[in-house]
Amino acid sequence: MRMERMLRKLFFITLVLCIPAGFFIKHEHAIFFWHKIPSIDTIFGFLGAFLLIVGSRILSFLIQRREDFYD
């Protein structure tokens, strides 16, 4: 239980540090306009992962059968 709490804390610290770090990294040859926005890759990745998790929970709720479905 303690290891899980430590890993969770490390994850959130890393997440919080990645967003300001994006302000120091510039795309020299940005092809698309969104590459000029600081930390857009971090935000896009976080939102994508969040939507995958939420979508899988919703989908499992819709598809999952009751335990006695075949009885």
As a whole number of angstroms, the distance between CA 23 and CA 40 comes to 10
Alpha helices by DSSP H, listed for the chain, are 2-21, 40-63
User: What does DSSP assign to residue 37?
Assistant: S
Say if 20 falls within a structural domain: yes
Say if 69 falls within a structural domain: no
Q: What confidence category does residue 58 fall into, taking pLDDT thresholds of 50, 70 and 90?
A: very high
Domain residues for the domain of 22 are: 2-63
pLDDT at 32: 86
Residue 36 has φ and ψ, to the nearest 5°, of: -85, -10
* pTM (global) more than 0.85: no
Whether the CB-CB separation of 51 and 43 falls below 8 Å is answered with no
What is the average pLDDT value for the chain, to the nearest integer?
86
Say if 71 falls within a structural domain: no
Number of domains in the chain: 1
Say if 70 falls within a structural domain: no
Say if 7 falls within a structural domain: yes
Q: Kindly compute the dihedral angle of the four CA atoms of residues 50, 56, 62, 65, in this order, to the nearest 10 degrees.
A: -140
